[in-house]
Structure 1
Amino acid sequence: MMDSIETEEIRVVEMYMMDKRKYYPLTVLSGFTIRGILYPFGLIKTRLQIQVGQEIYKGTFDAFVKISRNEGAQGLYRGFWVNCAHIFPSLAYITTYEKIRDYLRMNTNLNTSQIKSFISGGLASIVGQTLTVPLDIVTQHIMLLGNEKNSSEVNVQKKLKSLQRIHVPPEMRTSRFGTVSTVIREVYRQDGILGFYKGYFVSLALFAPNSGLWWMFYDTYSDKLQDALPDWVPRLAIHCVSAPCAGVTAAVITNSLDVIRARIQVEGKCFHVTLERLWKEEGFSFVFKGLSARIVQSVVFSFFIMLGYESLKRWSLKDEYKGQVRW
Structure 2
Amino acid sequence: MSDKNGHPSTSFVESIAGFTAGVVSTFCLHPLDLIKTRLQADRVSPSRVGSSLRIIRTIHASEGGLPAFYRGLVPNLVGNSSSWAIYFLFYGNIKDAIRSVRATTLPSNNGNTTTRTASLGASEYFVASGIAGLLTAVLTNPIWVIKTRMLSTGARTPGAYPSFISGTRRIFQSEGLRGFYRGLTPALLGVSHGAFQFMAYEQLKLYRVSPTSGSTTNHQLDNLDFFVISGLSKVFAVVITYPYQVLRTRLQSYDAGTVYRGLWDAVGQIWRNEGIAGFYKGLGPSIVRVLPSTWVTFLVYENTKKALPSITSSAG
- TM-score, normalising length: structure 2: 0.78
Taking the aligned partners of 2:169 and 2:221, their CA distance within structure 1 comes to 51
1:76 aligns with 2:69: yes
- The one of 37, 47, 56 aligned to 1:46: 37
**Alpha-carbon contact 1:17-1:318 (below 8 Å) kept:** no
* Aligned equivalent of 2:90, options 71, 84, 96: 96
Deviation at 1:318, TM superposition (A): 6.3
CA contact (8 A) 1:48 1:290 kept: yes
Task: Indicate the residue corresponding to 1:188 in structure 2.
Answer: 172
- State the aligned residue count: 279
Q: Report the residue type matching 1:122 in the other structure.
A: G
Distance 1:233 1:193, change over 3 A: closer
CA distance in 2, matches of 1:146, 1:134: 20
Q: Quick one: distance in 2 between partners of 1:117 and 1:17?
A: 28
Choose the corresponding residue for 2:127, options 89, 113, 119: 119
TM-superposed CA distance for 1:17, in Å, is 11
- 1:133 equivalent to 2:141? Answer yes
Instruction: Provide the rounded CA distance (Å) in 1 between the counterparts of 2:234 and 2:154.
Output: 30
In the TM superposition, residue 132 of structure 1 has moved relative to its aligned partner by: 1.5
1:240 is paired with a residue whose SS is helix
Given that 1:199 and 1:265 are in contact with CA atoms closer than 8 Å, whether structure 2 keeps it comes out as: yes
Alignment counterpart, residue 276 of structure 2, candidates 274, 284, 287: 284
Task: State yes or no: 1:274 paired with 2:274.
Answer: no
Distance 1:277 1:18, change over 3 A: farther
Higher helix share: 1
Matched, 1:243 2:243: no
Q: Is 1:261 matched up with 2:245?
A: no
For the Cα contact (< 8 Å) 2:40–2:281, is it kept in 1?
yes
The 3 A distance-change label for structure 1 pair 63 and 222 is farther
Q: Which runs of 5+ in 2 are unaligned?
A: 104-117, 312-316
Q: AA paired with 1:39? A: H
- Look up the match of 1:211: 194
Q: Output one character per residue of 1:55-90: Cα deviation in whole Å (capped at 9) or x when no partner.
A: 699423432343234432222111111222222232
Q: Is the 8 A contact 2:46 2:274 kept in 1?
A: no
Task: Give me the whole-angstrom Cα distance separating, in 2, the residues matched to 1:239 and 1:65.
Answer: 35
Are 1:302 and 2:294 matched, yes or no? yes
Instruction: Name the aligned partner's letter for residue 26 of structure 2.
Output: R
Deviations 1:222-255 (A, max 9, x none): 3344459797885332121110111111111111
Deviation, 1:143, is: 1.1
Kept after mapping to 2: 8 A contact 1:17/1:317: no
Q: SS state of the match for residue 52, structure 1?
A: coil
* Cα 1:284/1:25, change in 2 over 3 Å: closer
Tell me by how many angstroms 1:297 deviates: 1.9
Structure 1, unpaired ranges of 5+ = 1-15, 149-160, 320-327
Distance 1:244 1:62, change over 3 A: farther
Runs of 4+ in 1 over 6 A off after TM superposition: 228-233
- Which residue of 125, 130, 151 maps to 1:143? 151
* Aligned counterparts of 1:232 and 1:216: Cα–Cα separation in 2: 20
Instruction: Look up the SS of the partner of 2:153 in the other structure.
Output: coil
Q: In structure 2, what is the Cα distance between the partners aligned to 1:256 and 1:17?
A: 46
Q: In 2 relative to 1, CA 227–67 (structure 1 residues): closer, same or farther, beyond 3 Å? A: farther
1:10-40 C-alpha deviation (Å, 9 max, x unpaired): xxxxxx9962577655653442121101211
Query: Contact conserved, 2:125 with 2:202, CA < 8 A, in 1?
Result: yes
> Is 1:105 equivalent to 2:71 in the alignment?
no
Aligned-pair RMSD on alpha carbons? Answer: 2.9
Verify the 8 A CA contact 1:245 1:299 in the aligned structure 2: no
Distance 1:216 1:17, change over 3 A: farther
